[in-house]
Structure 1
Amino acid sequence: METRSRAFYLLAGFFTLFLIFLYGPTLTIGILSFQGPRGGLTFPMNGVSTHWFAELFQQQAVGDIWGAFRRSFALGLMVMVSTLFVAVTAGLAFRKKFTGSGVLFYLAITSLVIPSILISLGVGLIFNQLGLKVHWATSGFGSQLTWTLPFGLLIMFAVFNRFDKSFEEAARDQGATPWQTIRFVILPIIAPSLIGVGLFGFTLSYDEFARTLLTAGSYNTLPLEIFGMTTNVTTPVIYALGTLTTLFSLGIIVVFLLLVWGMGRRRARRGSDAGQGL
């Protein structure tokens, strides 16, 4: 029987500590959210119940939890669609070199290295100077795109860099127009990557705090609402909210993964049917 070296156990222990550091806070919040009606914000727990989850669906003395959730969800969808559209069209455009392409690329991803709070401040100031209303659906939307678009662009550039152009050549040989080639050849092949870009766009927007802080206007998104609750809520209801939002995010990821899995199964089925037809 092969014996493990001391280095193996040291690395395994380090990895275990890393996992505890990474997921420990989330698990702690999840556990504390099941406190009894008289429970507090710290251990030891005072009973076990789902009381604080039920409280979320009652009229809250402070804040607008469900309004903030609807705004974050709508904003996430807007950012996801915009990120997908721009990333795909830019990916197609950058397949050929054009004047200024390098400068444009670096300008597009520069916002990743600028502090998020400065982006938020800058966008808010621009809207104020132009006499436009600072609102989560306008200035907040634009601010968040500076965060999601660079990720979408980098993913699509990597995808198109590995794309086999022989598929397009075969489509053109069969008389397909450029639009038909994109619709029936390119998009189906890169569909799993499109789902990944959409997932990035939605989740990055849904959880974004800093770039929304000074651009949301009078109505909070969910991250801003949760931050506000930390200053005046002294019950585990905030933990229950954190647990539900975490489960919602995980659910979104599972849905996207199921979409990728389903598309892979459908593609494999079509391939087997075509093979049988031959």
Structure 2
Amino acid sequence: MEKRSRGFYVLAAFFGLFVLFLYGPILTIGILSFQGPQGGLTFPMNGVSTYWFRDLFQEQAVGDIWGAFRRSTMLGLMVMITTVVVSVMAGLAFRKRFAGSGVLFYAAITSLVIPSILISLGVGLIFNQLGLKIHWATSGFGAQLTWTLPFGLLIMFAVFNRFDKSYEEAARDQGATAWQTLRHVVLPIIAPSLIGVGLFGFTLSYDEFARTLLTSGSYNTLPLEIFGMTTNVTTPVIYALGTLTTAFSFAIIAAFLLGAWIMGKRRARLGSDAGKGL
């Protein structure tokens, strides 16, 4: 067996520190959420129990945790669906150059480099000037799309840039219409990428704070609710909330990855069956 070089161990140690830096705070919050009934917000822990998780499901004196959770989930689903649909349409449109395509592309991704709080302020001012109600499902929805759409567009541009057009030509040779080609050929092939775009859209929306701060109106989303709780909640219940929301995020990611794996297995099986048929 070939001996590892010193550089390998240095890079491995660096990667280990990176993982610790990335997940250490999450692990710390998870541990502190299991404090005993008399526990506080810091170490050392005062007992071990699930008391604060049970307390989380009781009526809270401050805030509307579960209402905020429902709003963030609904908003995330709205943003996810819109991001996927618009990204696919834009990816199809940009397969051929058209007048102003370059300007439109850079205009679409400019929001990535503009400070998020300025986007939130700008969207809020526009709604205010137009006499429209500032609400998480309207102005908040629009502000978050300025964050998720550029990622979706960049992914779909890369996907279609590598897409083999011979599949579409074969479908047209068999008499398929443009819609049939899109539905039965293009979309199944790019389905794993669509899952990735959907995952980006939902997760970026679910934990977005700055772009929602001035556009959510009278009702908080979950990140805003948690931020508000940090100023007036002095018990580990806030850690229990953080642990549950983190577990929910990982569950969503796992569900998307499972969907991508199932689609990959299905495509491989269909390809194998087609090969046997030949």
Specify the code of the residue in structure 2 equivalent to 1:32: L
Q: Aligned partner of 2:182: which letter?
A: I
CA distance in 1, matches of 2:37, 2:220: 28
Distance 1:190 1:5 in 2: 41
Residue 261 (structure 1) shift: 0.7
> What are the within-5 Å matches in structure 2 for residues 1-278 of structure 1?
2-278=2-278
Structure 2 distance, partners of 1:32, 1:244, is 13
Query: How far apart, CA to CA, are the structure 1 residues paired with 2:31 and 2:198?
Result: 31
Residue ranges of structure 2 left out of the alignment (5+ in a row): none
Query: In 1, Cα distance between the equivalents of 2:98 and 2:62?
Result: 54
1:155 aligned partner, one-letter code: I
Q: Structure 1: how far apart are the matches of 2:13 and 2:171?
A: 54
| Whole-Å separation in 2 of the counterparts to 1:188 and 1:93 | 18
Per-residue deviation, 1:7: 2.6
Code of the residue aligned with 1:133 in structure 2: it is: K
Once the two structures are superposed, residues 22-49 of structure 1 have per-residue CA deviations (whole angstroms, 9 ceiling, x without a partner) of 1100000000000010110000011111
Q: CA 1:103/1:271 → structure 2, altered by over 3 Å: closer, same or farther?
A: same
Partners of 2:277 and 2:162 in 1: how far apart? 29
Quick one: distance in 2 between partners of 1:203 and 1:30?
20
- What CA distance in whole angstroms lies between the structure 2 residues aligned with 1:193 and 1:6? 38
- Residue 44 of structure 2: SS of its match in structure 1? coil
Q: For residue 11 of structure 1, what is the amino acid of its counterpart?
A: L
SS across alignment from 2:230:
helix
Runs ≥4 in structure 1, deviation > 4 angstroms?
none
Give, in angstroms, the shift of residue 2 of structure 1: 4.1
Which residue identity lines up with residue 266 of structure 1 in the other structure?
A: R
Summarize deviations over 1:71-99 as a string: whole Å, max 9, x none: 00000000001101100000000000000
- Alpha-carbon distance in 2 for matches of 1:250, 1:84: 20
Q: Give 5+ residue unaligned stretches, structure 1.
A: none
Alignment length (residue pairs): 278
Q: Quote the Cα distance in structure 1 between the aligned partners of 2:165 and 2:2.
A: 48
Farther-moved stretch of structure 1 (216-225 vs 15-24)? 15-24
Distance 1:173 1:120, change over 3 A: same
Distance, in Å, in 2 between the alignment partners of 1:21 and 1:167 is 45
CA-CA distance at 1:273 after TM superposition? 1.9
Q: Measure how far apart 1:3 and its partner are.
A: 3.7
Q: Judging changes above 3 Å, is the alpha-carbon distance between structure 1 residues 8 and 274 closer, same or farther for their aligned structure 2 residues? A: closer
Aligned residue type for 2:221: T
Residue identity over aligned pairs, in percent, reads: 85
Q: RMSD between aligned alpha carbons?
A: 0.9
> C-alpha distance in 1, partners of 2:13/2:40?
33
User: Per the alignment, in what secondary structure is the counterpart of residue 234 of structure 2?
Assistant: coil
Q: Which stretch shifts more, 167-176 or 136-145?
A: 167-176
Deviations 1:165-188 (A, max 9, x none): 000111111111111111111000
Per-residue CA shift, 1:89-121, capped at 9, x if unaligned? 000000000000000000000000000000000
For 1:93 and 1:179, how far apart are their aligned partners in 2?
Answer: 14
**Distance (whole Å) between structure 2 residues aligned to residue 193 and residue 257 of structure 1:** 11
Q: TM-score, normalised by structure 2?
A: 0.98
